[in-house]
Amino acid sequence: MNSVLLKEFVQFFTLTDAAATERISERLRLGLRDPAAYQEQFAEELGERGIVAELPPQELRDIALIDALLAEDLAWESDWKDTAADMAEGLNEILSCQNRPHPLRPSALGRGRGEPGPEQLDTVQDALEAQGLALVLFTLDSDSYPLSIVADEQAENLRQSARELGFGVTVY
């Protein structure tokens, strides 16, 4: 595992918060190097997700990333029934933690495109794109959408780093 690449990957989300970068990187290093130790150390958090059995390495890797970012308020899990306005409220917490200047206006997003579901992600991405930001969807076999935000100009670098590290992400 390339520790420098991992730290650079984490910084897409933490920006200049060195302490958060270190906490998240350390947690992910454990998950990547020793999945059994990770599952033991974070058994309570995994249990809250209903995970009590040993996970396949890829699934553990993705959950470790999501949970590490959630612990720092740099990710948010949207329910599949959420509207774009609901998602905006959750994503504004991330924008605040990242010290980004312009929050999303839930009232401006209304109900988004059609019924609740994945189409709402497109509505949110359109609003973020107008601010030079990109929506990140993390891979998780669930009825929720784990989400975060990165600068649009970093989207391709994030995709490449995620691929090299073995994380499942979709950057809109």
pLDDT for the residue 2: 86
Is 130 domain-assigned? no
Among left, alpha and beta (phi > 0; psi -120 to 50; other), residue 76 is: beta
Into how many domains does the chain fold?
A: 1
User: For 52-85, how does the pLDDT look when each residue is reduced to its tens digit (9 = 90+)?
Assistant: 899 898 899 999 999 999 999 999 999 888 888 8
Q: How confident is the model at residue 102 (pLDDT cuts 50, 70, 90)?
A: confident
Residue 120 CA to residue 145 CA, distance in Å, equals 11
Is 171 domain-assigned? no
Would you list the DSSP string of the chain? --HHHHHHHHHHHHTT-HHHHHHHHHHHHHHHH-HHHHHHHTHHHHHHTT--SPPPHHHHHHHHHHHHHHHTTS-EEEETT--HHHHHHHHHHHHHHTT-S----HHHHTT-SSSSSTHHHHHHHHHHHTTTEEEEEE--SSSEEEEEEEEGGGHHHHHHHHHHHT--EEE-
Residue 74 CA to residue 134 CA, distance in Å, equals 14
pLDDT for the residue 111: 56
Is 31 domain-assigned? yes
pLDDT for the residue 110: 67
pLDDT for the residue 44: 94
pLDDT for the residue 108: 77
pLDDT for the residue 100: 93
Q: How confident is the model at residue 47 (pLDDT cuts 50, 70, 90)?
A: very high
Is 70 domain-assigned? yes
Is 16 domain-assigned? yes
Is 138 domain-assigned? no
Average pLDDT, the chain: 91
Range of the domain at 10: 3-75
Q: What percent of the chain has pLDDT over 70?
A: 95
- For residue 30, is pLDDT > 60? yes
Is 101 domain-assigned? no
**Residue 172 exposure: Cα atoms within 13 Å on the Cβ side:** 23
Is 105 domain-assigned? no
Q: What percent of the chain has pLDDT over 90?
A: 71
